[in-house]
Amino acid sequence: MPSQKQLKWSQLKVGITVIVAAITLGVLTVLMSGGGFFTSKIMLKSYFDDANGLRVGAPVRLSGVDIGNVTRIEVAHNHPPLTPVEVTMKVVTKYDFNLRKDSVTLLSTAGVLGETYLNIDSSHATLGPAQDGDVLRSQQVPDFSDMVRSGQSTLQNMDALLKRMDRIIGFVESGQGSVGKLIYDPSLYNRVNSTVADFQKLVAEISNGQGSLGKLIGDDELYNKANGTIDKVNKMIDDLNAGNGTAGKLLKDSSLYDNANKTIANVKQLTDDINAGKGALGKMAKDQEFAAKLQNTMNRLSDLADRMDAGEGSVGKLLKDPSLYDNSNKLLTNLQDLVKAIRQDPKKYLTIHLKLF
């Protein structure tokens, strides 16, 4: 039977073990929460429209790094109804260089069905470090229920699409519509079969050299003519490259290029002289007095033509007076009669009488 002293020592060891385990558990809890014994902490708040499974003790992370825990979740009666859920968190201050007053809090989930935690995003923050009691602005992100609702809408659309496809397939299987007739109408098969047979017959005739296409493919004479034509074209190209003939000289003779270049230069010089008012053409193009005289002459010619057209003056009467035409016509007729009479009896008109004194 153990003595009383042994019992007391056993109880003391059990007590020491429990105390050491409790201290170890406390230290591990503090270390796992992202803090430490000598690390200062601050309390921050944020408001959400729904807790979305967030619990007290859930980790608080800054860009994915644990910096604290959620200490309280409650519905605030004095806060706007759009964001009634008040979340209080305790975070360490050693990351205050990236924990700002205008940082944004988001409720995130570790995986699809994992634990909900609170994540702080400071990627767009510009204000100073957050202080104890500050309220961080929250931002809503689609949660799993939103994804399920969106997936339900997609499934409903797919179900409606499958039903429509089923109706279309039934419609086709009944032989209705263009596609149904295309698949189930035997006359179409017969026409296609007949077309294929005609095509095979055509190919056979071409292979045998019958018809225009057959001669085009099977007749060697066409090949020989084409080959001869190609040889002539090659010879013509060789003559051009060698500078033979008119076209060859046109391509190869450097004097032609020089003459053409000189002609272009002369034409340019001529146009420059005309633009500068030099020479007869230049003065004609640039002299305003000459232009005025030319315009006056044109006006006078136009006036003279108008007067002649009106029958004024000798020339006008010559053009417009019908009696002059009649007299001229009569004179020509008489002259023709006189010439005709002289030819018939030249002695009558060409007799010369000589008188001697």
Phi, psi of 59 (to 5 degrees): -70, 150
Q: What is the pTM of this model?
A: 0.35
Evaluate the CA torsion angle 196, 197, 203, 207 in order and state its sign: positive
Nearest C-alpha neighbor of 103 from the set 137, 78, 71: 137
Per-residue pLDDT tens digits of the chain, which is 357 residues long: 556 666 566 767 777 888 888 888 776 665 555 455 556 888 999 998 888 888 998 999 888 888 889 999 998 877 666 778 899 999 998 888 888 889 999 888 876 567 888 888 888 888 989 889 888 888 876 555 555 666 677 777 888 888 888 887 777 777 676 666 667 777 777 787 788 888 888 888 777 777 777 776 777 777 777 778 888 888 888 887 877 777 777 677 777 777 878 888 888 888 887 787 777 767 777 777 777 787 888 888 888 888 777 777 766 766 676 777 777 778 888 888 877 877 787 766 666 555 554
Residues 120 and 58: their CA atoms lie apart, in Å, by 13
Answer yes or no: are the C-beta atoms of 171 and 177 closer than 8 Å.
yes
Q: What angle do CA 253, 258, 263 make, to 5 degrees?
A: 130
First to last CA, the chain: 219
